[in-house]
Amino acid sequence: MSDSLSPSITILLADDHLVVRAGLRAILSVANFEVVGEASNGEEAIDLVVKLAPRVVVMDIQMPMVDGIAATRKIKLARAEVQIVILTTFETEADVTRAVNAGAIGYLLKDSPGATIVEAVRAAARGQSTLSPQAAAHLMTRSRGDAPTLSRREIDVLERVAKGASNREVAEALRVSEATVKTHLLHAFEKLGVSDRTAAVTVALERKLIRLA
């Protein structure tokens, strides 16, 4: 059945930038899609999904209140039938893995061609996944079990960070400078493909590179 005769695909746009939402609305208007709502933060996205029950959510990752990955997880718990396509400027292995684990069915970058975004939404409505080439590569690497090797000191630092220690507290415990702790963290971030402490701890725990016990 052609798009002109098939039921419209209802969409919720979740992005904290108005200009991005306006651009997406314009792109999606070329297809048989109906944008039923817009959210400027993750908390609003969750509330609107429960209220409007769109078929697909196009979701940014970095948003106020609740980020896009946490919002994805909560939406899938509340309405499992709603499909979520992540559309972001971030494409680290940690971001991709967290998004997919949270329940996202698609992962694209914001510089993707309009036609690609349209097809990703259409595929999501059918329950089919669409991933950017780099996102797919990240998942393939993870599925093969390829994992970075952290140094003993990087593990020591991350395990203490995981338990809530500040850089100063880690430095005192390991009898090194705070600058050295920061250097170890930056090296761990690079190896794990992340950009912050929380993501580093999350990925390291998921891969069993560190332990909390």
Q: What CATH number has the domain bearing residue 56? A: 3.40.50.2300
pLDDT value at position 7? 60
Token pair 């991005």 is at which residue? 20
Res 142: pLDDT: 62
Q: What does the pLDDT average to over 144-172?
A: 87
* Residue 120 is assigned to a structural domain of this protein: yes
Cα(22)–Cα(141) distance, integer angstroms: 35
* 196 and 105 fall within a common domain: no
Residues 111, 67: one domain?
Answer: yes
Q: How far apart are CA 108 and CA 37, in angstroms?
A: 21
pLDDT at residue 69, as a whole number: 92
Q: 212: which residues sit within 8 A by CB, 6+ positions away?
A: 159, 162, 163, 205
Q: Specify the range with the lowest mean pLDDT, choosing from 41-50, 149-158, 191-200.
A: 191-200
Contacts of 169 (CB under 8 A, 6+ apart): 160
Instruction: Give the residue from 109, 143, 177 where a domain finishes.
Output: 143
What is the extent of the structural domain holding 27? 9-143
Number of domains in the chain: 2
68 and 104, same structural domain?
yes
Query: CB of 46 within 8 A of CB of 73?
Result: no
119 is a domain residue: yes
Establish if 61 belongs to a structural domain.
yes
For residues 186 and 138, state if they share a domain. no
175 and 100, same structural domain? no
Residue 33 lies in a domain: yes
- 15-73 per-position pLDDT tens digit: 999 999 999 999 998 888 999 999 999 999 999 999 999 999 999 999 998 999 999 99
The Cα 95–Cα 86 span in angstroms is: 10
Specify if 211 maps to a domain.
no
Residue 155 has pLDDT above 80, yes or no: yes
Q: Is 56 exposed, middle or buried (0-12, 13-18, 19+ CB in 10 A)?
A: buried
